[in-house]
């Protein structure tokens, strides 16, 4: 008999409610032994006292889930406690003393959901991304995958490919019979179209990765143009040291924030000039390198020598409060003038870059899409050049179907599963 796992599924710390989750064949019996009362009907919350060894631990609410109706697909239960660390520790200690129960490891609950066909592997990866989401864009992307959007799309492609494969195999198995011609332009067109769509999804992982990891936006300019003051204004706090002395910023100051729903790391770089001071020269070199590698550069004032303006970069006039005219984008970190316009411009640029983000969110998923696309293109090439040997193309179509199965987890190497679930928190 499989063991029963348990863990706290709410964050640690004082709160109104803390939830302890159980999953496995002994979960209902564990609730009965801790409460000493008749169990409530499944999926109905009931008030119960939690006791162990004759001592009252807490006045709680319990809920039971029958097999097939829980998150993991197993018989399960939840104990809703008062959010005291002492109460949670005592409850977990009591559960640990019961036969057949063990504390859950990271990802144990979700892994059981996968094994019991309650989730696909792509949905598991979406759930992992959802747990890590910090911004609205990250949430929307993760929800789309965790909610089954990727699986639905892949299943639709898979069904079409299975029908095409069956059509080809009929023509091979009954070559001497009067059967409909399997290989025609429509079939080849479907293979090409599916391959192109798979390649779009594979390439779109780069955009999805930007949503997941966030963008780096470097504030670049000459010394003393107000870069650090602008960073502090954008961050809403004194993140960078400011002074009237040119060259104050020597190292790169980073501030994480959300702009237009995107996770952004703002970089305050050293003022770029020909520096005589060795330490400042190192800071300038580092600023040029980091600015060049950033996703977007905001040039405050004239573009410094040695930094290339790339597509989408923003050129902004500095110290707008001292300017007599307001041409173009101008900001003042001191007064806040033009800040909202700058944030809008940054947000529009970054949002445009992720407009074609894929439903796929991991390198593993991208590789599976690429493998499927390659196999389908080979099948189409074979059918176009050697129409009398469709069985060779059939093998490539099988390879594409297998790649899609790997993508959603119908076929998954054990080491891949171990790596994925190691990233989960305990209790999920």
Tens of pLDDT, residue by residue over 380-391, are 888 888 666 677
% of the chain surpassing 90 pLDDT:
28
Q: What is the pLDDT of residue 201?
A: 86
Q: Are 244 and 222 in contact (CB under 8 A)?
A: no
Decide which of 45 and 313 is more confident.
45
- The mean pLDDT value of the chain amounts to 81
Residue 144 has a pLDDT of 77
- The Cα–Cα gap between 396 and 169 comes to 13
80: β partners = 19, 61
**Would you state the structure tokens that stand for residue 41, as one six-digit string?**
């009907």
Query: Rounded distance, CA 189 to CA 372, Å?
Result: 16
48 CB-contact burial (10 Å; exposed 0-12 / middle 13-18 / buried 19+)? buried
H or E segment and range at residue 48:
strand 46-52
293 has pLDDT over 90: no
The band of 270, judged by pLDDT with boundaries at 50, 70 and 90, is low
More confident residue, 76 or 249: 76
Q: Which pLDDT score, from 0 to 100, does residue 244 have? A: 43
**Of the listed ranges 25-39, 55-69, 77-91, 279-293, the one predicted with least confidence:** 279-293
- Regarding predicted confidence, which is higher, 266 or 326? 266
The band of 23, judged by pLDDT with boundaries at 50, 70 and 90, is very high
What token pair was written down for 134? Answer: 């910090």
Surface-to-core class of residue 168, CB atoms within 10 Å of its CB (0-12 exposed, 13-18 middle, 19+ buried) = buried
Q: Is the pLDDT of residue 246 over 50?
A: no
pLDDT, average across residues 243-257: 60
Checking if the pLDDT of 247 tops 50, the result is no
Determine contact, residues 369/201, Cβ cutoff 8 Å: yes
Using a cut of 0.85, tell me whether the model's pTM lies above it: no
SS3 15: strand
* Whether the Cβ atoms of residue 229 and residue 334 lie closer than 8 Å to each other: yes
* 417: pLDDT strictly greater than 90: no
Which residues have C-beta within 8 Å of that of residue 252, sequence separation ≥ 6? 267, 268, 269, 270, 286, 287, 290
Cα dist from 315 to 249, 302, 328, 417, whole Å = 21, 8, 9, 46
Report residue 153 as tokens: 């799309």
In terms of average pLDDT, the best of 6-15, 19-28, 145-154, 236-245 is 19-28
Q: Give the position of tokens 């091979």.
A: 172
Q: Is the pLDDT of residue 204 over 80?
A: no
């Amino acid at each position: 008999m499989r063991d029963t796992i348990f863990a706290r599924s709410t964050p640690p710390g004082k709160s109104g409610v803390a939830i302890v989750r159980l999953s496995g064949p002994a979960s209902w019996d564990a609730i009965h032994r801790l409460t000493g009362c008749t169990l409530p009907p499944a999926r109905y919350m009931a008030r119960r006292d939690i006791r162990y060894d004759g001592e009252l631990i807490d006045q709680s609410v319990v809920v039971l889930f029958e097999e097939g109706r829980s998150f993991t697909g197993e018989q399960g239960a939840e104990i809703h406690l008062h959010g005291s660390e002492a109460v949670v520790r005592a409850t977990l200690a009591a559960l640990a003393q019961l036969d057949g129960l063990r504390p859950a490891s990271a990802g144990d609950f979700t892994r059981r959901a996968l094994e019991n066909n309650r989730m696909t592997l792509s949905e598991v990866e979406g759930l992992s991304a959802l747990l890590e989401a910090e911004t609205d864009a990250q949430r929307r992307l993760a929800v789309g995958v965790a909610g089954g959007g990727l699986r639905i799309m892949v299943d639709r492609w898979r069904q079409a490919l299975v029908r095409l494969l069956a059509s080809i195999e009929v023509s091979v198995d009954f070559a001497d019979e009067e059967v409909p011609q399997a290989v025609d332009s429509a079939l080849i067109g479907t293979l090409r179209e599916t391959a192109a769509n798979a390649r779009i999804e594979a390439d779109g992982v780069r955009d999805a990765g930007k949503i997941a990891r966030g963008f780096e936006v470097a504030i670049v300019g000459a010394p003393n143009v107000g870069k650090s003051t602008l960073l502090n204004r954008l961050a809403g706090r004194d993140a960078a040291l400011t002074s009237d002395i040119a060259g104050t910023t020597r190292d790169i100051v980073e501030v994480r924030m959300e702009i237009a729903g995107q996770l952004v790391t703002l970089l305050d770089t050293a003022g770029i000039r020909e520096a005589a001071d060795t330490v400042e020269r190192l800071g300038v070199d580092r600023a040029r390198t980091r600015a060049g590698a950033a996703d977007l550069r905001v040039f405050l004032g004239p573009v410094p020598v040695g930094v290339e303006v790339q597509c989408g970069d923003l050129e902004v006039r500095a110290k707008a409060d001292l300017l007599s005219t307001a041409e173009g984008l101008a900001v003042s970190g001191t007064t806040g003038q033009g800040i909202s316009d700058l944030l809008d411009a940054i947000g529009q640029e970054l949002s445009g870059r992720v407009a074609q983000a894929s439903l796929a969110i991991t390198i593993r998923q991208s590789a599976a899409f690429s493998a499927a696309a390659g196999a389908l293109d080979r099948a189409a090439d074979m059918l176009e050049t050697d129409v009398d040997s469709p069985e060779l193309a059939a093998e490539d179509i099988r390879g594409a179907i297998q790649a899609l199965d790997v993508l959603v987890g119908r076929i998954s190497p054990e080491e891949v599963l171990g790596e994925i679930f190691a990233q989960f928190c305990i209790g999920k």
